[in-house]
Every structure is written in C-alpha cells, then in structure tokens.
Amino acid sequence: MSVSQLVYALLFTLAMGFFAFSARRLVAFLRLGRPDPRLDDVGTRLRNLGLIGFAQTKILRERGAGISHALVFWGFLVVTVGTVEQMVQGFWPAFDLPHLLPSPLAFVFNLSQEIFSVGILVAVSWLIWRRTVATPKRLRGEGKGDPVHHGEAILILSIIATLMLSILVESSFELLTPGPDGGPREPLGQPIARWLSLFFVGSDPITVPTAHLVSRIGWWTHAVLVLVFLNLLPYSKHLHVLTSLINTFFSNTSGPGPVGAMKPMDLEAETDVYGASDVEHLSWKNLLDGYSCTECGRCTAACPANTTGKMLSPRKIVVNVRQRLLEKAPLLVPGADAARRGAAEQAAAGTVADAAAKVLGKKLLDDYITEEELWACTSCRACVYECPVSIDQLEVINELRRNLVLTESRFPEELMPAFEGLEQKGNPWSFAPADRGAWAEGMDIPTMAELQARGEKADVLFWVGCMGSFDERAKKITVAFARILKAADVRFAILGQEEACHGDPARRMGNEYLYQVLAKGAIEVLNGYEVKTIVTHCPHCFHQMGTEFPQFGGHYEVIHHSEYLERLLADGRVPLEQGGDKLVVAYHDSCYLGRYHEITEQPRAALKRALPVMTLVEPARTKSRGLCCGAGGGRMWMEEKDGKRINVERTEELLATGADTIAVACPFCMTMISDGVTAKSAATPVMDLSELVAARLREPTAAS
Ligand code: SF4
Ligand code: SF4
C-alpha cells in the first residue's frame, strides 16, 4: 500500500466514522419526538418523492433561485457518481470507471461530469451573489430568533464551488499527462477539460511532472473537501442536503391522506401536557422538519401575518424547533452526549447549577416561540404550500396553541365568548339555537326531521353553517343558494335547529376538547339521518366535515357549493335568464378551497357559465397562491392589533384589478373583504357566487 493510499484510508475512515457518529446522534434526537406512523400509502409517498424530491416541482415554482437550486441538486446526483469513483481510487488508484464502460457510456459519463460541474459552478456563483449582493427580503431574516445563517451558507456554497473547480482542474491537467499506454491521452466526452488544458498550457508548454502534480492537487482537494463537506452538513443549516428527500417521503403536506387535516388528540391519555410546550411533545416528523429546513424563507414571504407586519414567521417556527432540539436533546438522549447528560443529571439532582440546568429550565413555547406569534396565524397554509421540502409549519403552531389553551388556559380574552358560545349555544356568537333555521321561513324548505316523519329522504343535506344561519349578510348567501337548489329541483333538506357548529373554530383555536365534543355531536346527528351527501357554502364546514370528520366516524360526500353549482350549471339544471350585465369580476380564492383542496377552477367555471358576458380578472396573488382574507385560524374572533390589516391588503389587491364586482365563495371571506372595501371607501360590491348566479335565475312563469 502506497503512502497516498494509507493517508486516504486514514482520512476516509476518520471522516466516515465521525459522520456515522453524527448521523446516529441526529437519529437519536428524533426519537425524542412522539410516535407518528407514516408508512401508509407508500405509492403516494413515492410519487411525492419523485415529483417534489427528484423532479423538484415545488422548488421550481420560483424562477432564479428555484432553477439554481434544482441545478445544484440534479448536478449533485450526477457528480456523486464521479465522487464514488474517486473514493474507490483512493484505495485502488488504477480504478478508472470510464475504462470499464463501453465507449458510448464512457463518453456520456465524462460529458455529464463536465456539464454538471460547470452547471453547479454557475448556479452556486449566482447563489453567492444573491446572498451577498442582491439579498432579497426573505433571506434577511426577521430579527431575533429568526436567524439567517449567511456565513454558513456562503461557506458551504464556496466549498461546493471549490469541489467543482477541483474536478475540472484534475481532469484538464490529467489530459496533459501520458495515458496508461504511455501515449498522449485522447479526450473522450471532455470538451471543457480539453479546452481548459489548452488554455492552461497557452503558448508555454507545461511539463508532464507539473501537469501530473496539478492534477493530483485537484484530486486531493476534491477528495478531502468531500469528506469535510460530509461532516459539516450535520452541524449546519445544510443538514437539509441529507434529510430533505426523506422528509418529502414522510410528508403529509401533499398527501397521502387528508391534506391539511389536523391530527386528533387522545383526550383520554394520561398526561399533564396537552399539545406541545417543548420539542419532546412534538412528533418525530415535526423534528425532522426542523432538520430539513433550508431557511429559504419562502414560507415567511408568503405568510399574510408576516408580510403585514405581525411577529409571526413560519421559518422561525421551524428553525426554533431545530435550535431547541439541538440544545435540549443532548441532555436527554442516552448515549448522545454522555458528558453533557451527566451534567444534566447533576443539574436535575440540584448538585450543580450550571448551563444544563438553564437549558432544561427553558421551553420551546415562550422561550423560543411566543404566544403573540402563535395567535397571529390565520391557518391559511400558504407556508406549507410554498415549502420546497414539504415541511408542515402549521402542525407545530397548532400543537403549541393546543398546549396554551388546554394545558395552560392561556389565550386571547376575545376568544372566551367564542368558546362559551360554542359550548353553550352551538355557535360562536351565542345566537339562540332556535333561530338557526329562521332564514328559511316562507321558503318551503323541509328539515331532515320533517322528511323522516313523512317517510321521505333527501338526496342532499344543505349544511348551512353558523355564519350562514345567523350573520345578516351571510344569510343572504344562504337564501340565494337555497333558491338555486329549488330552481334546479334538487331534493334537499336542512337540519334546522338540529344543526350546531361542528367545532372547527374551536379546533383551530387550540380547544381540541370542545372541538371533539361538538364534532362527535354533529356526527351523531348526521349518522342518525344516514346522511350520505352534504353540500355547504362555507369552505370551513366543507373542509371539516369532508376531511376531518372521518377521524371520528363521520364519512360523507361533502361538496362545496362552488363545485355543486358548477355541476348543476354544466348539467343545464339551473334555469337562467339570457344575456346579463357585462360585469368585470375579480374572484377571491378562499384558503380552505384554493390551498387546502385545490378547488380553484370550479368557482371560476361556475361564474363563466352563469355570467357568459362577464370578464374575469385575476388579482396579483391568485388561486393556490391567493392571499388570505385574514379570518381563518380563529382570527375572525381576534383583534388585529399589529401591522396592516390583512383584509385591507387583500382588498387592495382585488380593487387593483379594476373589477366592478368582487366574487367570493366563503361567508368569512365575505365579511373580511366587505370590511376591506368599506375601509378603502370603495363602492365595489362583494357578492357570493350563489348570489351572482341567483340574480340571473329565470323566474317561473305563471304557466310553468
Ligand atoms: S398558516 Fe398562513 S398565517 Fe399561519 S404561519 Fe402559515 S402562512 Fe402564516
Ligand atoms: S420551512 Fe420550508 S419554506 Fe420555510 S424556510 Fe424552511 S425550507 Fe424554506
């Protein structure tokens, strides 16, 4: 064995040994998290891995940075084959992969190594420029606790650039050395190395020993840097290089399973801690999310709370989880860090008051993430939707909110009346339950109970929702939709006084206990009538009953009215007047339709069918990237004290389209956008889809 082989073997063994130690430690930290089985529907998970992980579909939604990152990722996959070849050469210097391959494959191998090395070099140079010179807002961080590790990022990017340069230096100077047969080397699929070798030689010939030496320097630089790079990853924000594909496979952000569904809590479990106040109360997947964050800031740039000046930054939430885990886990995980654990045990026993005691005395909640941040969230899912590595920031926010409400009874005082109303009256405004069906008076709409008494059944249950039942403005939407159902001869019924809130607002506000009581009550009523199909004009009811009720045995086909209207109109079942006004309409996407369920085309199609002479215009942020109205996540019941009002920001975007009508498909959006229009002193009417359709209903003639 030569000295060079010996040195390489030593370095390789040390590096791999340390890497194995680091990886084992990180996996041990994950075990601190709560169980969360994620091996269901492997087919969908593999599809996510292929599309989001390998094809980089999410990262490519943004040009510039997206293309650069995708190029680096794909380049790494290709260049890694050459790196493995080099590792083998470290032990067996004569190993030459292209020589083992048929000539065309050797050509492709060499060419791919060159093209992707240069591609990565260009992409990385651009990324360094972007971080150091252009520095877009989302890379600047949001102050304390939302650190952006520029130094680390630039170090890692510089190492990658040097790795690529070393490949090119090695191969171009190698071309200037004799081949294995002693004759000159012929480049094979190496146009760039060939050009570089000629460039380096210039008019001044380089001696063979010098060329050999420079080539070896290139080889060793690459070999050593690969090992250094590998060992830096576990200790830097670039840990995502190792974990993002795994994270994408295990993600729940793009399926499988119900997208956006909150996990049920076991309220019978014997525990003092509901939800999460520290990292050990989160699931292992939440902790893996922390490892996988690239700190790209796409989530924060899309967050309506953040961009309107609130404290909340979803990137900070995820980074805080990682920071807290790396701070606390070494003190708790057996074998992770024996010396520090010993200190922790001493601290717990009160024998020393040192740094470990301080660490154990802190919590993720309050010491890293404040209440103010948590209550600013509208649950719009823009963060989740934008994350290129399938992180679910919202899950952490929800778990911490649960802890605040259920374990600590800490929540904004404005929420108390909503909780009381839900608990005592079955609606968050404490309206009298007896008035729930009052909107239907004189409309000849049967209740389920009435139909049952007559021995009849409805095809469809119209679930009206609390807003649609009690809010004066939303009741007009309810009436309009009921008129359309009647005009289309749909055999439908309502629950009337038997309807009560399904509990979704309580769940989003962290009160899982109240939610489960309400949800189970609603399911009992629905199952009692053997309901199969439900239609509703509220996206929150639609999401809750269709996506989360199955957790408690409520299985129904739930259809949002935008989709149902589109079907009725497409089937020609809605009698409409000919012609109509030449409206210019801007449609505002509800988060619980557009992002949670990707229902974006159906409402637009319904509008186009019902209003054939209408012009549809789109606001700057639209469809699955539409800006939230600000009402979700319980924000409807909270004062918006900091920054600009989200509904005003959204209304400005809608008004900027020049539309003469704003269309919505959610009673909460209706309230928020109407308030926004008032705040802007504008006169643009805000109409629900069903109101726009109902306005064009052909009245039955006396003969008909
Ligand atoms: S769900 Fe919406 S409001 Fe909440 S953190 Fe994510 S982007 Fe921000
Ligand atoms: S959570 Fe996702 S989107 Fe947000 S900074 Fe991290 S990687 Fe980027």
Q: What's the rounded Cα separation, in Å, for the pair 682 and 680?
A: 5
Here the tokens at position 615 are 């012009």
Mean local confidence (pLDDT), 237-246: 94
CB-ligand 1 contact for 305 (6 Å cutoff): yes
Q: Which helix (H) or strand (E) holds 223?
A: helix 208-232
154 and 201 housed in the same domain: yes
Q: What is the mean pLDDT of the chain?
A: 92
Amino acid identity, position 186 = E
87 and 174 housed in the same domain: yes
Q: Which helix (H) or strand (E) holds 560?
A: strand 557-560
Dihedral of alpha carbons 242, 245, 247, 250, sign: negative
Could you identify the atom of ligand 1 that is nearest to the CA of residue 376? Answer: 3
Q: Which residue has the higher pLDDT, 268 or 606?
A: 606
Q: Whose CA is nearest to atom 3 of ligand 2?
A: 387
Q: What's the rounded Cα separation, in Å, for the pair 152 and 59?
A: 21
pLDDT above 90 for 342: no
Q: Which residues share a beta bridge with 587? A: 663
Q: Tens digits of per-residue pLDDT, 574-612?
A: 999 987 778 999 999 999 999 999 999 999 999 999 998
Amino acid identity, position 673 = I
Domain end among 183, 206, 235? 235
The pLDDT confidence band at residue 145, using thresholds 50, 70 and 90, is low
The pLDDT confidence band at residue 203, using thresholds 50, 70 and 90, is low
Domain for residue 347, yes or no?
yes
621: left (phi over 0), alpha (psi -120 to 50) or beta: beta
- Residue-level pLDDT at 704: 47
Q: Which residues share a beta bridge with 687? A: 663
Domain for residue 506, yes or no?
yes
Cβ atoms of 265 and 507 closer than 8 Å: no
Domain for residue 145, yes or no?
no
434 and 468 housed in the same domain: yes
Dihedral of alpha carbons 674, 675, 678, 682, sign: negative
Closest to 692 measured CA to CA, from 567, 588, 568, 606: 606
Q: At what angle do helices 3-30 and 65-91 cross, to 10 degrees?
A: 130
Omega before residue 256 within 30° of 0, cis = yes
Domain end among 357, 392, 410? 410
24 and 36 housed in the same domain: no
Q: Exposed, middle or buried by CB within 10 Å (0-12, 13-18, 19+), for 587? A: buried
Could you identify the atom of ligand 1 that is nearest to the CA of residue 313? Answer: 5
- Residue-level pLDDT at 344: 56
44 and 155 housed in the same domain: no
Q: What's the rounded Cα separation, in Å, for the pair 32 and 331?
A: 11
CB-ligand 2 contact for 318 (6 Å cutoff): yes
pLDDT above 80 for 142: no
CB-ligand 2 contact for 315 (6 Å cutoff): yes
Ligand 2 site-directed mutation target among 138, 287, 293, most atoms within 8 Å of CB: 293
- Residue-level pLDDT at 152: 86
230 and 212 housed in the same domain: yes
Range of the domain at 115: 3-28+62-136+150-235
Given the structure tokens 């004009």, which residue do they identify?
537
**Over the range 447-473, which residues count as b (16 or more CB within 10 Å of their CB) and which as e?**
bbeebbeeeeebebbbbbbbbbbbbee
Domain for residue 248, yes or no?
no
pLDDT > 70: percent of the chain: 94
295 and 394 housed in the same domain: yes
Q: What's the rounded Cα separation, in Å, for the pair 701 and 578?
A: 15
Q: What's the rounded Cα separation, in Å, for the pair 426 and 424?
A: 6
Could you identify the atom of ligand 1 that is nearest to the CA of residue 317? Answer: 5
Cβ atoms of 492 and 485 closer than 8 Å: yes
40 and 115 housed in the same domain: no
Which ligand minimizes its atom distance to the CA of 66? 2
Here the tokens at position 501 are 């809130």
Q: What's the rounded Cα separation, in Å, for the pair 220 and 4?
A: 10
Domain for residue 453, yes or no?
yes
Between the CA of 549 and the centroid of ligand 1 the distance, in Å, is 23
Q: What's the rounded Cα separation, in Å, for the pair 365 and 25?
A: 24
450 and 541 housed in the same domain: yes
Domain for residue 246, yes or no?
no
Q: Which residues share a beta bridge with 654? A: none
Cβ atoms of 266 and 512 closer than 8 Å: no
Q: What's the rounded Cα separation, in Å, for the pair 303 and 359?
A: 30
632 and 683 housed in the same domain: yes
Dihedral of alpha carbons 666, 672, 676, 677, sign: positive
- Residue-level pLDDT at 268: 86
Domain for residue 450, yes or no?
yes
Ligand 2 site-directed mutation target among 387, 392, 397, most atoms within 8 Å of CB: 387
Cβ atoms of 652 and 304 closer than 8 Å: no
Count of all residues that appear for the chain in the document: 704
Q: What's the rounded Cα separation, in Å, for the pair 482 and 694?
A: 9
428 and 557 housed in the same domain: yes
Q: Which three-class secondary structure state does DSSP give residue 584?
A: strand
Tell me, what CATH number does 88's domain have? 1.20.950
Here the tokens at position 419 are 């909780």
Domain end among 358, 387, 410? 410
436 and 566 housed in the same domain: yes
Domain for residue 210, yes or no?
yes
Of 30-39, 131-140, 645-654, the poorest mean pLDDT is in 131-140
Q: How many domains is the chain built from?
A: 4
Q: Tens digits of per-residue pLDDT, 26-57?
A: 999 999 999 999 988 898 899 999 999 999 99
Tell me, what CATH number does 607's domain have? 3.40.50
Whole-number Cα distances in Å, 322 to 6, 230, 329, 678: 38, 19, 10, 43
Q: What's the rounded Cα separation, in Å, for the pair 117 and 132?
A: 22
Which ligand minimizes its atom distance to the CA of 251? 2
